Structure 1
Amino acid sequence: MTEKTTFQSDNAFSNDFGVFVYEQTITKSSGSLVEIFQNHGLITQLQDRLGYQFNQINYLINALTHRSFVHEYTHEARTSYERLEFLGDSVLGSYVSYALFEKYSDCSEGKLSKLRSALVNEHSLAKLGRFLGADKCLLLGRGELQSELNDSLICDVVEAILGAITLDDSINRAFEALANIISQYELEMKEDFFSEKKLYLFDPKTTLQELTMKEYKSLPVYESHNVEGGFRVELFVNDEKVEEVTCHSKKIAMKELALKYLNKITK
Protein backbone atom coordinates (compact mmCIF):
# COMPACT_ATOMS: atom_id res chain seq x y z
CA MET A 1 0.00 0.00 0.00
CA THR A 2 1.34 3.44 -0.94
CA GLU A 3 2.04 5.66 2.05
CA LYS A 4 0.02 8.86 2.02
CA THR A 5 1.93 12.08 2.65
CA THR A 6 0.79 15.47 3.84
CA PHE A 7 2.14 18.97 3.35
CA GLN A 8 3.67 20.61 6.37
CA SER A 9 1.86 23.73 7.50
CA ASP A 10 5.11 25.74 7.69
CA ASN A 11 5.87 25.22 4.01
CA ALA A 12 5.12 28.15 1.70
CA PHE A 13 3.30 27.23 -1.50
CA SER A 14 2.14 29.73 -4.09
CA ASN A 15 -0.49 27.31 -5.39
CA ASP A 16 -2.69 27.02 -2.30
CA PHE A 17 -5.57 25.70 -4.39
CA GLY A 18 -3.38 22.93 -5.79
CA VAL A 19 -2.25 21.97 -2.29
CA PHE A 20 -5.85 21.97 -1.06
CA VAL A 21 -7.01 19.71 -3.92
CA TYR A 22 -4.03 17.39 -3.45
CA GLU A 23 -4.76 17.00 0.26
CA GLN A 24 -8.50 16.48 -0.24
CA THR A 25 -8.37 14.07 -3.19
CA ILE A 26 -5.06 12.25 -2.83
CA THR A 27 -3.81 12.52 0.75
CA LYS A 28 -7.21 12.18 2.45
CA SER A 29 -9.10 10.60 -0.47
CA SER A 30 -12.22 12.41 0.71
CA GLY A 31 -12.87 15.12 -1.86
CA SER A 32 -14.59 15.20 -5.24
CA LEU A 33 -12.84 17.12 -8.00
CA VAL A 34 -16.14 18.10 -9.58
CA GLU A 35 -17.56 19.43 -6.30
CA ILE A 36 -14.37 21.37 -5.53
CA PHE A 37 -14.35 22.98 -8.97
CA GLN A 38 -18.03 23.83 -8.80
CA ASN A 39 -17.72 25.57 -5.44
CA HIS A 40 -14.21 27.03 -5.08
CA GLY A 41 -13.82 30.79 -5.32
CA LEU A 42 -10.65 30.71 -7.44
CA ILE A 43 -12.38 28.66 -10.13
CA THR A 44 -15.30 31.09 -10.09
CA GLN A 45 -12.88 34.01 -10.48
CA LEU A 46 -11.11 32.32 -13.38
CA GLN A 47 -14.39 31.76 -15.23
CA ASP A 48 -15.48 35.33 -14.49
CA ARG A 49 -12.27 36.65 -16.03
CA LEU A 50 -12.86 34.49 -19.07
CA GLY A 51 -16.45 35.68 -19.28
CA TYR A 52 -17.40 32.05 -19.73
CA GLN A 53 -19.04 29.50 -17.43
CA PHE A 54 -18.36 25.90 -18.30
CA ASN A 55 -21.37 23.70 -19.02
CA GLN A 56 -19.34 20.56 -18.35
CA ILE A 57 -16.85 21.37 -15.59
CA ASN A 58 -14.76 18.31 -16.41
CA TYR A 59 -13.41 20.10 -19.47
CA LEU A 60 -11.99 22.81 -17.21
CA ILE A 61 -10.67 20.25 -14.74
CA ASN A 62 -8.79 18.50 -17.53
CA ALA A 63 -7.43 21.80 -18.85
CA LEU A 64 -5.89 22.53 -15.44
CA THR A 65 -4.57 19.01 -14.76
CA HIS A 66 -0.85 18.30 -15.12
CA ARG A 67 0.28 14.76 -15.91
CA SER A 68 1.99 14.54 -12.49
CA PHE A 69 -1.41 14.82 -10.79
CA VAL A 70 -2.90 12.17 -13.07
CA HIS A 71 -0.17 9.73 -12.01
CA GLU A 72 -1.02 10.16 -8.32
CA TYR A 73 -4.80 10.48 -8.56
CA THR A 74 -6.18 6.94 -8.52
CA HIS A 75 -9.90 7.35 -7.71
CA GLU A 76 -11.03 7.59 -11.32
CA ALA A 77 -9.57 7.89 -14.81
CA ARG A 78 -8.27 11.39 -15.46
CA THR A 79 -6.44 12.96 -18.38
CA SER A 80 -3.95 15.80 -18.40
CA TYR A 81 -4.27 19.02 -20.37
CA GLU A 82 -1.97 17.88 -23.18
CA ARG A 83 -4.59 16.98 -25.81
CA LEU A 84 -6.58 20.11 -25.03
CA GLU A 85 -3.37 22.11 -25.39
CA PHE A 86 -2.96 20.72 -28.92
CA LEU A 87 -6.45 21.92 -29.85
CA GLY A 88 -6.12 25.25 -28.08
CA ASP A 89 -2.85 26.01 -29.84
CA SER A 90 -4.72 26.07 -33.16
CA VAL A 91 -7.53 28.17 -31.68
CA LEU A 92 -5.04 30.70 -30.36
CA GLY A 93 -3.10 30.82 -33.62
CA SER A 94 -6.25 31.42 -35.65
CA TYR A 95 -7.47 34.21 -33.38
CA VAL A 96 -4.13 36.01 -33.24
CA SER A 97 -3.62 35.69 -37.01
CA TYR A 98 -7.00 37.25 -37.75
CA ALA A 99 -6.53 40.01 -35.18
CA LEU A 100 -3.13 40.96 -36.64
CA PHE A 101 -4.46 40.81 -40.19
CA GLU A 102 -7.20 43.26 -39.25
CA LYS A 103 -5.05 45.61 -37.16
CA TYR A 104 -1.96 45.84 -39.40
CA SER A 105 -3.38 46.15 -42.88
CA ASP A 106 -0.10 47.43 -44.34
CA CYS A 107 2.17 44.70 -42.92
CA SER A 108 3.68 42.07 -45.19
CA GLU A 109 3.04 38.36 -44.67
CA GLY A 110 6.57 37.96 -43.31
CA LYS A 111 6.20 40.67 -40.70
CA LEU A 112 2.76 39.40 -39.66
CA SER A 113 4.23 35.92 -39.15
CA LYS A 114 7.04 37.31 -37.00
CA LEU A 115 4.65 39.40 -34.94
CA ARG A 116 2.40 36.38 -34.41
CA SER A 117 5.41 34.42 -33.14
CA ALA A 118 6.22 37.27 -30.77
CA LEU A 119 2.68 37.20 -29.37
CA VAL A 120 2.18 33.46 -28.95
CA ASN A 121 5.55 32.72 -27.35
CA GLU A 122 5.82 31.31 -23.82
CA HIS A 123 6.66 34.58 -22.08
CA SER A 124 3.76 36.54 -23.59
CA LEU A 125 1.17 33.81 -22.98
CA ALA A 126 2.43 33.13 -19.46
CA LYS A 127 1.78 36.79 -18.60
CA LEU A 128 -1.75 36.37 -19.89
CA GLY A 129 -2.14 33.11 -17.94
CA ARG A 130 -1.02 34.68 -14.68
CA PHE A 131 -3.37 37.59 -15.24
CA LEU A 132 -6.16 35.09 -15.78
CA GLY A 133 -5.19 33.32 -12.55
CA ALA A 134 -4.56 29.97 -14.21
CA ASP A 135 -1.25 29.56 -12.37
CA LYS A 136 -3.15 29.51 -9.06
CA CYS A 137 -5.60 26.81 -10.15
CA LEU A 138 -3.33 24.04 -11.44
CA LEU A 139 -3.64 20.43 -10.31
CA LEU A 140 -0.10 19.17 -9.78
CA GLY A 141 1.65 16.18 -8.26
CA ARG A 142 3.49 16.55 -4.97
CA GLY A 143 6.90 17.22 -6.50
CA GLU A 144 5.61 19.87 -8.92
CA LEU A 145 3.68 21.60 -6.12
CA GLN A 146 6.97 22.26 -4.39
CA SER A 147 8.64 23.63 -7.53
CA GLU A 148 8.37 27.05 -9.14
CA LEU A 149 6.01 27.16 -12.10
CA ASN A 150 7.74 27.94 -15.39
CA ASP A 151 6.37 30.00 -18.26
CA SER A 152 6.12 26.96 -20.52
CA LEU A 153 3.64 25.18 -18.26
CA ILE A 154 1.43 28.24 -17.81
CA CYS A 155 1.48 28.86 -21.57
CA ASP A 156 0.35 25.27 -22.18
CA VAL A 157 -2.53 25.67 -19.75
CA VAL A 158 -3.78 28.86 -21.44
CA GLU A 159 -3.96 26.94 -24.71
CA ALA A 160 -5.64 24.01 -22.98
CA ILE A 161 -8.34 26.29 -21.54
CA LEU A 162 -9.11 27.57 -25.04
CA GLY A 163 -9.34 23.97 -26.24
CA ALA A 164 -11.66 23.14 -23.36
CA ILE A 165 -14.03 26.01 -24.20
CA THR A 166 -14.05 24.92 -27.85
CA LEU A 167 -15.22 21.42 -26.86
CA ASP A 168 -17.62 22.67 -24.20
CA ASP A 169 -19.25 25.12 -26.63
CA SER A 170 -17.63 26.19 -29.90
CA ILE A 171 -14.51 27.74 -31.40
CA ASN A 172 -16.32 31.08 -31.72
CA ARG A 173 -17.03 31.01 -27.98
CA ALA A 174 -13.36 30.33 -27.37
CA PHE A 175 -12.52 33.35 -29.54
CA GLU A 176 -14.90 35.47 -27.45
CA ALA A 177 -13.33 34.30 -24.19
CA LEU A 178 -9.85 35.08 -25.48
CA ALA A 179 -10.94 38.51 -26.68
CA ASN A 180 -12.48 39.16 -23.27
CA ILE A 181 -9.37 38.27 -21.30
CA ILE A 182 -7.10 40.25 -23.64
CA SER A 183 -9.39 43.28 -23.30
CA GLN A 184 -9.25 43.08 -19.50
CA TYR A 185 -5.48 42.58 -19.60
CA GLU A 186 -4.96 45.66 -21.76
CA LEU A 187 -7.23 47.76 -19.54
CA GLU A 188 -5.71 46.76 -16.21
CA MET A 189 -2.06 46.38 -17.28
CA LYS A 190 -2.07 49.46 -19.54
CA GLU A 191 -0.41 47.41 -22.26
CA ASP A 192 -1.42 46.75 -25.86
CA PHE A 193 -1.32 42.97 -26.27
CA PHE A 194 -1.02 43.30 -30.04
CA SER A 195 1.62 46.03 -29.91
CA GLU A 196 4.14 46.03 -32.75
CA LYS A 197 6.77 46.78 -30.09
CA LYS A 198 6.60 43.14 -28.99
CA LEU A 199 8.26 42.18 -32.26
CA TYR A 200 11.57 43.70 -31.30
CA LEU A 201 11.23 42.64 -27.68
CA PHE A 202 10.92 39.06 -28.95
CA ASP A 203 13.73 39.23 -31.54
CA PRO A 204 15.59 42.54 -31.21
CA LYS A 205 18.62 41.49 -33.27
CA THR A 206 16.55 40.69 -36.36
CA THR A 207 14.46 43.82 -35.93
CA LEU A 208 17.59 45.96 -35.71
CA GLN A 209 19.06 44.31 -38.80
CA GLU A 210 15.93 45.09 -40.79
CA LEU A 211 15.91 48.67 -39.54
CA THR A 212 19.57 49.39 -40.36
CA MET A 213 19.28 47.79 -43.79
CA LYS A 214 16.30 50.02 -44.52
CA GLU A 215 17.87 53.19 -43.14
CA TYR A 216 21.58 52.77 -43.96
CA LYS A 217 21.79 49.82 -46.36
CA SER A 218 24.16 48.13 -43.89
CA LEU A 219 24.00 45.65 -41.02
CA PRO A 220 24.74 46.42 -37.36
CA VAL A 221 28.19 45.32 -36.20
CA TYR A 222 28.98 43.75 -32.82
CA GLU A 223 32.58 43.83 -31.59
CA SER A 224 33.56 41.64 -28.66
CA HIS A 225 36.49 42.07 -26.24
CA ASN A 226 37.55 39.67 -23.50
CA VAL A 227 37.37 41.20 -20.04
CA GLU A 228 37.50 39.81 -16.52
CA GLY A 229 34.36 37.76 -15.90
CA GLY A 230 33.11 37.78 -19.49
CA PHE A 231 32.99 40.04 -22.51
CA ARG A 232 32.61 43.70 -23.34
CA VAL A 233 30.50 43.90 -26.48
CA GLU A 234 30.07 47.08 -28.52
CA LEU A 235 27.35 47.84 -31.04
CA PHE A 236 28.07 49.89 -34.16
CA VAL A 237 25.33 51.26 -36.41
CA ASN A 238 26.28 52.99 -39.64
CA ASP A 239 29.96 52.86 -38.52
CA GLU A 240 29.15 54.67 -35.28
CA LYS A 241 29.43 53.14 -31.83
CA VAL A 242 26.02 53.50 -30.21
CA GLU A 243 25.98 51.12 -27.22
CA GLU A 244 28.16 48.78 -25.16
CA VAL A 245 27.54 46.24 -22.39
CA THR A 246 29.60 43.80 -20.33
CA CYS A 247 28.19 40.31 -19.91
CA HIS A 248 29.21 36.70 -19.31
CA SER A 249 27.64 35.67 -22.63
CA LYS A 250 28.24 37.21 -26.07
CA LYS A 251 24.83 36.02 -27.26
CA ILE A 252 22.97 37.62 -24.37
CA ALA A 253 25.03 40.79 -24.71
CA MET A 254 24.20 41.16 -28.41
CA LYS A 255 20.47 40.77 -27.74
CA GLU A 256 20.64 43.26 -24.87
CA LEU A 257 22.51 45.78 -27.04
CA ALA A 258 20.00 45.54 -29.86
CA LEU A 259 17.12 45.97 -27.41
CA LYS A 260 18.73 48.96 -25.68
CA TYR A 261 19.34 50.71 -28.97
CA LEU A 262 15.83 50.02 -30.27
CA ASN A 263 14.32 51.33 -27.04
CA LYS A 264 16.43 54.48 -27.32
CA ILE A 265 15.48 55.31 -30.89
CA THR A 266 11.78 54.52 -30.48
CA LYS A 267 11.14 56.64 -27.38
Structure 2
Amino acid sequence: MDEERFASLKELESRLGYQFKRIEWLDQALTHKSFIHQTNTPLKESNEVLEFLGDAVLNLAVSHLLWKAFPEAQEGVLSLRRAHLVKRSSLAHLSKEIRLEGHLLLGKSELVDGGRKKSSILANAYEALIGAIYMDSGYDQTLKILQHQLEPYLQAEIPSFLLNDYKSLLQEQAQRTDAGSPKYQVLQEEGPDHNKRFQASVSVRGEVKGIGWGKSKKEAEQQAAKSALEAMSTKSQGPNYK
Protein backbone atom coordinates (compact mmCIF):
# COMPACT_ATOMS: atom_id res chain seq x y z
CA MET A 1 0.00 0.00 0.00
CA ASP A 2 1.49 3.33 -1.02
CA GLU A 3 1.70 6.37 1.26
CA GLU A 4 -1.10 8.26 -0.47
CA ARG A 5 -3.54 5.36 -0.07
CA PHE A 6 -2.50 4.85 3.54
CA ALA A 7 -3.06 8.54 4.33
CA SER A 8 -6.48 8.40 2.64
CA LEU A 9 -7.55 5.44 4.77
CA LYS A 10 -6.28 7.05 7.98
CA GLU A 11 -8.39 10.10 7.16
CA LEU A 12 -11.46 7.88 6.85
CA GLU A 13 -10.61 6.17 10.14
CA SER A 14 -10.69 9.52 11.92
CA ARG A 15 -14.19 10.22 10.57
CA LEU A 16 -15.34 6.76 11.61
CA GLY A 17 -13.91 7.15 15.08
CA TYR A 18 -12.34 3.73 14.75
CA GLN A 19 -8.75 2.67 14.11
CA PHE A 20 -8.26 -0.66 12.37
CA LYS A 21 -5.80 -3.16 13.80
CA ARG A 22 -5.28 -4.37 10.23
CA ILE A 23 -5.90 -1.48 7.87
CA GLU A 24 -5.91 -3.97 5.00
CA TRP A 25 -9.49 -4.83 5.94
CA LEU A 26 -10.52 -1.23 5.31
CA ASP A 27 -8.61 -1.15 2.03
CA GLN A 28 -10.38 -4.29 0.84
CA ALA A 29 -13.80 -2.97 1.89
CA LEU A 30 -13.31 -0.01 -0.44
CA THR A 31 -11.98 -1.98 -3.42
CA HIS A 32 -14.62 -2.52 -6.11
CA LYS A 33 -14.41 -5.55 -8.38
CA SER A 34 -13.98 -3.28 -11.43
CA PHE A 35 -10.64 -2.10 -9.99
CA ILE A 36 -9.44 -5.69 -9.58
CA HIS A 37 -10.47 -6.60 -13.12
CA GLN A 38 -8.71 -3.55 -14.55
CA THR A 39 -5.46 -3.80 -12.61
CA ASN A 40 -5.28 -7.61 -12.55
CA THR A 41 -3.68 -7.53 -9.11
CA PRO A 42 -3.50 -11.15 -7.91
CA LEU A 43 -2.81 -10.36 -4.24
CA LYS A 44 -5.64 -7.82 -3.88
CA GLU A 45 -9.26 -8.85 -3.28
CA SER A 46 -12.47 -6.97 -4.02
CA ASN A 47 -15.02 -6.11 -1.35
CA GLU A 48 -17.63 -8.68 -2.44
CA VAL A 49 -17.02 -11.22 0.35
CA LEU A 50 -16.89 -8.49 3.00
CA GLU A 51 -20.13 -7.11 1.56
CA PHE A 52 -21.75 -10.54 1.98
CA LEU A 53 -20.57 -10.73 5.58
CA GLY A 54 -21.47 -7.12 6.32
CA ASP A 55 -25.02 -7.64 5.09
CA ALA A 56 -25.56 -10.37 7.70
CA VAL A 57 -23.86 -8.41 10.51
CA LEU A 58 -25.80 -5.25 9.61
CA ASN A 59 -29.16 -7.03 9.75
CA LEU A 60 -28.35 -8.56 13.13
CA ALA A 61 -26.99 -5.32 14.59
CA VAL A 62 -29.91 -3.20 13.37
CA SER A 63 -32.35 -5.81 14.72
CA HIS A 64 -30.51 -5.66 18.05
CA LEU A 65 -30.59 -1.85 18.19
CA LEU A 66 -34.26 -1.65 17.24
CA TRP A 67 -35.22 -4.28 19.80
CA LYS A 68 -33.41 -2.27 22.48
CA ALA A 69 -35.04 0.98 21.31
CA PHE A 70 -38.56 -0.47 21.03
CA PRO A 71 -38.77 -3.41 23.48
CA GLU A 72 -42.58 -3.49 23.36
CA ALA A 73 -42.95 -3.19 19.58
CA GLN A 74 -44.52 -5.96 17.53
CA GLU A 75 -42.37 -7.92 15.11
CA GLY A 76 -44.09 -6.40 12.07
CA VAL A 77 -43.24 -2.86 13.20
CA LEU A 78 -39.63 -3.81 13.91
CA SER A 79 -39.38 -5.51 10.51
CA LEU A 80 -40.71 -2.40 8.81
CA ARG A 81 -38.26 -0.15 10.63
CA ARG A 82 -35.34 -2.43 9.88
CA ALA A 83 -36.26 -2.71 6.20
CA HIS A 84 -36.33 1.09 6.02
CA LEU A 85 -32.93 1.44 7.72
CA VAL A 86 -31.09 -1.17 5.66
CA LYS A 87 -32.58 -0.46 2.24
CA ARG A 88 -30.17 0.57 -0.50
CA SER A 89 -30.92 4.29 -0.45
CA SER A 90 -30.49 4.43 3.35
CA LEU A 91 -27.13 2.66 3.23
CA ALA A 92 -25.99 4.94 0.41
CA HIS A 93 -26.94 7.91 2.59
CA LEU A 94 -24.94 6.53 5.53
CA SER A 95 -22.02 6.01 3.16
CA LYS A 96 -22.19 9.64 2.07
CA GLU A 97 -22.32 10.83 5.68
CA ILE A 98 -18.80 9.52 6.24
CA ARG A 99 -17.72 10.54 2.70
CA LEU A 100 -16.90 6.96 1.77
CA GLU A 101 -17.12 7.67 -1.96
CA GLY A 102 -13.84 9.58 -2.02
CA HIS A 103 -11.93 6.53 -0.81
CA LEU A 104 -13.33 3.93 -3.22
CA LEU A 105 -11.03 2.17 -5.67
CA LEU A 106 -12.94 1.83 -8.94
CA GLY A 107 -11.99 0.77 -12.44
CA LYS A 108 -11.72 3.48 -15.11
CA SER A 109 -14.94 2.45 -16.85
CA GLU A 110 -16.85 2.57 -13.56
CA LEU A 111 -15.36 5.97 -12.75
CA VAL A 112 -16.40 7.33 -16.15
CA ASP A 113 -19.88 5.88 -15.56
CA GLY A 114 -20.24 7.88 -12.34
CA GLY A 115 -19.56 4.97 -10.01
CA ARG A 116 -18.80 7.17 -7.01
CA LYS A 117 -22.40 8.43 -7.08
CA LYS A 118 -24.17 5.11 -7.70
CA SER A 119 -26.39 4.12 -4.79
CA SER A 120 -25.70 0.43 -5.40
CA ILE A 121 -21.92 0.85 -5.17
CA LEU A 122 -22.15 3.12 -2.11
CA ALA A 123 -24.56 0.78 -0.30
CA ASN A 124 -22.43 -2.27 -1.08
CA ALA A 125 -19.29 -0.48 0.10
CA TYR A 126 -21.01 0.43 3.37
CA GLU A 127 -21.94 -3.21 3.93
CA ALA A 128 -18.34 -4.19 3.16
CA LEU A 129 -17.12 -1.60 5.67
CA ILE A 130 -19.31 -3.16 8.35
CA GLY A 131 -17.94 -6.57 7.40
CA ALA A 132 -14.39 -5.21 7.66
CA ILE A 133 -14.95 -3.78 11.14
CA TYR A 134 -16.48 -7.08 12.22
CA MET A 135 -13.48 -9.03 10.94
CA ASP A 136 -11.09 -6.59 12.61
CA SER A 137 -12.73 -6.30 16.04
CA GLY A 138 -15.83 -8.50 16.30
CA TYR A 139 -19.52 -7.87 16.89
CA ASP A 140 -19.47 -5.63 19.97
CA GLN A 141 -17.23 -3.00 18.37
CA THR A 142 -19.25 -3.11 15.15
CA LEU A 143 -22.47 -2.62 17.12
CA LYS A 144 -20.97 0.37 18.94
CA ILE A 145 -20.01 2.09 15.67
CA LEU A 146 -23.40 1.40 14.10
CA GLN A 147 -25.22 2.65 17.18
CA HIS A 148 -23.29 5.92 17.00
CA GLN A 149 -24.11 6.49 13.33
CA LEU A 150 -27.68 5.21 13.43
CA GLU A 151 -28.70 6.97 16.65
CA PRO A 152 -30.42 9.90 14.87
CA TYR A 153 -32.46 7.49 12.72
CA LEU A 154 -33.50 4.75 15.16
CA GLN A 155 -36.29 6.81 16.73
CA ALA A 156 -37.20 8.68 13.55
CA GLU A 157 -40.70 8.38 12.15
CA ILE A 158 -41.07 6.00 9.25
CA PRO A 159 -42.11 8.04 6.18
CA SER A 160 -45.89 7.85 5.90
CA PHE A 161 -45.77 6.70 2.28
CA LEU A 162 -43.85 3.61 3.41
CA LEU A 163 -46.14 2.61 6.26
CA ASN A 164 -48.30 0.42 4.04
CA ASP A 165 -46.02 0.16 1.01
CA TYR A 166 -44.61 -3.28 1.66
CA LYS A 167 -44.03 -3.85 -2.06
CA SER A 168 -41.49 -1.02 -2.22
CA LEU A 169 -39.69 -2.31 0.86
CA LEU A 170 -39.57 -5.85 -0.52
CA GLN A 171 -38.29 -4.49 -3.84
CA GLU A 172 -35.49 -2.65 -2.00
CA GLN A 173 -34.61 -5.77 -0.03
CA ALA A 174 -34.48 -7.91 -3.17
CA GLN A 175 -32.36 -5.38 -5.05
CA ARG A 176 -29.96 -5.06 -2.12
CA THR A 177 -29.29 -8.80 -2.25
CA ASP A 178 -29.23 -8.92 -6.07
CA ALA A 179 -32.23 -11.26 -6.02
CA GLY A 180 -33.99 -9.50 -8.89
CA SER A 181 -37.49 -8.04 -8.83
CA PRO A 182 -40.23 -9.83 -6.86
CA LYS A 183 -42.91 -11.43 -9.05
CA TYR A 184 -46.58 -11.20 -8.07
CA GLN A 185 -49.37 -13.54 -9.11
CA VAL A 186 -53.09 -13.48 -8.35
CA LEU A 187 -53.89 -17.02 -7.23
CA GLN A 188 -57.65 -16.83 -6.82
CA GLU A 189 -60.64 -14.60 -6.27
CA GLU A 190 -63.83 -15.34 -4.40
CA GLY A 191 -67.13 -13.72 -3.49
CA PRO A 192 -69.73 -11.70 -5.43
CA ASP A 193 -68.74 -8.78 -7.64
CA HIS A 194 -69.63 -6.20 -4.98
CA ASN A 195 -67.58 -7.96 -2.28
CA LYS A 196 -64.71 -9.81 -3.92
CA ARG A 197 -61.57 -11.03 -2.15
CA PHE A 198 -58.32 -11.76 -3.94
CA GLN A 199 -55.40 -13.98 -3.00
CA ALA A 200 -51.93 -13.15 -4.33
CA SER A 201 -48.46 -14.60 -3.95
CA VAL A 202 -45.01 -13.06 -4.31
CA SER A 203 -41.96 -14.97 -5.48
CA VAL A 204 -38.27 -14.09 -5.34
CA ARG A 205 -35.90 -16.08 -7.53
CA GLY A 206 -38.76 -18.40 -8.39
CA GLU A 207 -39.57 -19.27 -4.76
CA VAL A 208 -42.86 -18.21 -3.16
CA LYS A 209 -42.01 -15.97 -0.20
CA GLY A 210 -45.44 -14.73 0.86
CA ILE A 211 -49.19 -15.04 0.29
CA GLY A 212 -51.84 -12.46 1.14
CA TRP A 213 -55.53 -11.63 0.83
CA GLY A 214 -57.16 -8.31 0.01
CA LYS A 215 -60.30 -6.63 -1.29
CA SER A 216 -58.40 -5.70 -4.45
CA LYS A 217 -55.53 -7.23 -6.38
CA LYS A 218 -53.22 -4.42 -5.22
CA GLU A 219 -54.14 -4.92 -1.57
CA ALA A 220 -53.57 -8.67 -1.88
CA GLU A 221 -50.12 -8.03 -3.39
CA GLN A 222 -49.26 -5.63 -0.55
CA GLN A 223 -50.28 -8.25 2.01
CA ALA A 224 -48.22 -10.88 0.20
CA ALA A 225 -45.20 -8.56 0.31
CA LYS A 226 -45.80 -7.93 4.03
CA SER A 227 -45.94 -11.68 4.64
CA ALA A 228 -42.67 -12.13 2.72
CA LEU A 229 -40.89 -9.41 4.72
CA GLU A 230 -42.04 -10.93 8.01
CA ALA A 231 -40.91 -14.40 6.91
CA MET A 232 -37.51 -13.05 5.84
CA SER A 233 -37.22 -11.21 9.17
CA THR A 234 -37.92 -14.38 11.16
CA LYS A 235 -35.42 -16.35 9.07
CA SER A 236 -32.61 -13.85 9.62
CA GLN A 237 -33.18 -13.26 13.34
CA GLY A 238 -30.21 -13.76 15.57
CA PRO A 239 -30.08 -14.46 19.30
CA ASN A 240 -31.80 -12.22 21.82
CA TYR A 241 -29.60 -9.68 23.63
CA LYS A 242 -30.74 -7.99 26.80
Q: CA deviation digits over 1:194-225, x for unaligned, max 9?
A: 14523535455469xxxxxxxxxxxxxxxxxx
In 2, Cα distance between the equivalents of 1:78 and 1:202? 41
Partner residue of 1:95?
A: 61
The yes-or-no answer on 1:153 pairing with 2:121 is yes
In 1, Cα distance between the equivalents of 2:14 and 2:161? 31
1:75 deviates by 4.5
Asked whether the 8 Å contact 1:51–1:180 carries over to 2, the reply is no
User: Which residue of 37, 57, 62 maps to 2:5?
Assistant: 37
1:176 deviates by 1.8
User: Which residue of 18, 37, 50 maps to 1:84?
Assistant: 50
- Unaligned regions of 5+ residues in structure 1, if any? 1-32, 184-191, 208-250, 252-267
- Unaligned regions of 5+ residues in structure 2, if any? 168-217, 219-242
User: Which residue of 66, 80, 89 maps to 1:123?
Assistant: 89
In 2, Cα distance between the equivalents of 1:93 and 1:38? 30
Distance 1:75 1:66, change over 3 A: closer
In 1, Cα distance between the equivalents of 2:35 and 2:94? 23
Distance 1:206 1:196, change over 3 A: farther
The yes-or-no answer on 1:52 pairing with 2:18 is yes
In 2, Cα distance between the equivalents of 1:200 and 1:153? 27
- Pairwise CA RMSD: 2.2
The yes-or-no answer on 1:168 pairing with 2:136 is yes
Partner residue of 2:207?
A: none
In 2, Cα distance between the equivalents of 1:137 and 1:147? 17
The yes-or-no answer on 1:198 pairing with 2:158 is yes
Q: Secondary structure at the match of 1:111?
A: helix
Distance 1:140 1:203, change over 3 A: farther
The yes-or-no answer on 1:178 pairing with 2:146 is yes
Larger radius of gyration: 1
Please tell me the residue identity of whatever aligns with 2:135.
L
Asked whether the 8 Å contact 1:87–1:163 carries over to 2, the reply is yes
Q: Secondary structure at the match of 1:198?
A: coil
Residue correspondences, number: 166
User: Which residue of 55, 77, 81 maps to 1:111?
Assistant: 77
Distance 1:205 1:85, change over 3 A: closer
Asked whether the 8 Å contact 1:162–1:174 carries over to 2, the reply is yes
Please tell me the residue identity of whatever aligns with 2:56.
S
Asked whether the 8 Å contact 1:54–1:168 carries over to 2, the reply is yes
Asked whether the 8 Å contact 1:119–1:198 carries over to 2, the reply is no
1:151 deviates by 1.0
Percent identity over the alignment is 34
Q: CA deviation digits over 1:213-257, x for unaligned, max 9?
A: xxxxxxxxxxxxxxxxxxxxxxxxxxxxxxxxxxxxxx9xxxxxx
Asked whether the 8 Å contact 2:65–2:147 carries over to 1, the reply is no
Q: Secondary structure at the match of 2:20?
A: coil
Q: What's the TM-score once normalised by structure 1's chain length? A: 0.57
Q: Secondary structure at the match of 2:63?
A: helix
1:133 deviates by 1.1
In 2, Cα distance between the equivalents of 1:204 and 1:111? 11
Asked whether the 8 Å contact 1:88–1:161 carries over to 2, the reply is yes
Q: CA deviation digits over 1:99-149, x for unaligned, max 9?
A: 111112232111111111011001111111001111111100001111222
In 2, Cα distance between the equivalents of 1:35 and 1:202? 46
Distance 1:121 1:36, change over 3 A: same
